[in-house]
Amino acid sequence: MRTFALHTSLTLLVYAALPSSVAMAEDGGVWQYRVDIVSQTGVAGYQPAKVLSDDGTDTFVAAQEHHVRTEVRGRMTIVGAWLEFNIEPYTVIPAELIRVDLGGIETWLMAEVAPRTKIGLYHHSAHNFSDGRYGWGINLNALVLDVLLLDGKADLFGDTGRYRLNFLGHWYTSGSASPYRLTDATVIAPSDIGTTLWRAGFVFEATHPGGVAECALDVKGSGDGVPASANVTCAVLFTPGSRFLGELGKHVYAGPFINYGINFTRADEFGRHAAFGGIRADLLFADTRSTSARGH
């Protein structure tokens, strides 16, 4: 809890410092930024409202626990000539309850080392607020490789949009978290959840005056080198534009999202697969990045 409180305090300080970044960008400085808040509300499927860690005491039985109703995530990207910083604090609200069960934060610090290639550091911490029966949470650190594979423009509906495809790989150096997707059939003791050693996949992003699309494929594995699970997420969001909501319409996006995960091994303990889908809303506060800048 103290770790998460520290992360939250740092996040608030970063957001509070944003006006100085704004002034720098407006004065022609090298720093650019993007800030938005994303809310995902599930309509069907299963996603757990708790995180499992190996210090838990009770066996996790998914059928007896609440699943996620809504996740709210803040996202801020600051891009310089050589460095890029991303921070994403989030919280989870379970179905059938009005309380926050889970909160966490993800951060990336990336440096460009070659054209279209970045390396950097990643941190992810998440903590259960309601109780510690399944462990108090996770604290993960990793080395990151980010390679831009495709980047271009495309004409659609009379307007020009941009797209990019990145390879994103993580090699975990400390901390422990399960490499398996939790499903509604999961029955597992926290001490048996396993450890994620690596994560690799692709991120596709497209922007257009009429909306945005964000899709990702992640494969996770442990020390034996065999992939443990794969997860696919995709969201297609549309904006009403200024003709419906005036200036606010340029900052509001909404549309469907889907999340699907499958376990390649240990399906008798974790279940084979799970899907979770619903409505996603994105409120964009500001975006001064150039079209070639990349956010996660």
Instruction: Provide Rg for the chain, Cα atoms.
Output: 19
Dist CA 67 CA 64 (whole Å): 10
Residue 291 pLDDT: 41
170 bridge partner residues: 144, 199
Whether 86 has a pLDDT exceeding 60, the answer reads: yes
Structure tokens at 113: 């080392």
Could you read off the pLDDT of 153-181 as tens digits, one per residue? Answer: 988 888 889 999 999 999 999 998 999 99
Structure tokens at 142: 């990793």
Residue 242 pLDDT: 64
* 29 pLDDT tier (thresholds 50, 70, 90): low
Residue with tokens 């993580």: 170
- What integer is the mean pLDDT of 250-276? 96
Q: What percent of the chain has pLDDT over 70?
A: 85
* 199 pLDDT tier (thresholds 50, 70, 90): very high
Residue whose C-alpha is closest to residue 102's, from 48, 182, 141, 178: 48
Dist CA 65 CA 60 (whole Å): 8
Dist CA 234 CA 237 (whole Å): 10
- What integer is the mean pLDDT of 202-221? 95
Dist CA 169 CA 163 (whole Å): 20
- Work out whether strand 211-221 and strand 187-188 pair parallel, antiparallel, or are unpaired: unpaired
- What integer is the mean pLDDT of 35-51? 95
For domain 2-287, which architecture applies?
Answer: Beta Barrel (2.40)
Contact 48, 93 (CB under 8 A): no
Residue 108 pLDDT: 98
Could you read off the pLDDT of 95-128 as tens digits, one per residue? Answer: 877 778 899 999 999 999 999 999 999 999 999 9
The rounded mean pLDDT for the chain is 86
- What integer is the mean pLDDT of 215-241? 93
Residue with the larger pLDDT of the pair 210 and 104:
104
Whether 293 has a pLDDT exceeding 80, the answer reads: no
Segments making up each domain of the chain, as ranges: 2-287
Whether 6 has a pLDDT exceeding 60, the answer reads: no
Residue with the larger pLDDT of the pair 14 and 116:
116
Q: Is the pTM of this model over 0.95?
A: no
Range of lowest pLDDT (73-77, 96-100, 115-119, 271-275)? 96-100
pLDDT winner (highest mean) among 25-34, 52-61, 127-136, 139-148 = 139-148
Transcribe the chain into DSSP letters.
Answer: -HHHHHHHHHHHHHHHTHHHHHHHHHTT-S-EEEEEEEEEEEEEE--BSS---TT--S-EEGGGS-BEEEEEEEEEEEE-SSEEEEEEEEEEEETT--S--EEEEEEEEEEEEETTEEEEEEEEEEEESS--TT-SEEEEEEEEEEEEEEEEEEEETTEEEEEEEEEEEEEEEE-----SPP-TT-EE-GGGS----EEEEEEEEEEETTEEEEEEEEEEE-TTSSEEEEEEEEEEEE---HHHHGGGGGSEEEEEEEEEEEESS-HHHH-SEEEEEEEEEEEEEEE---TT----
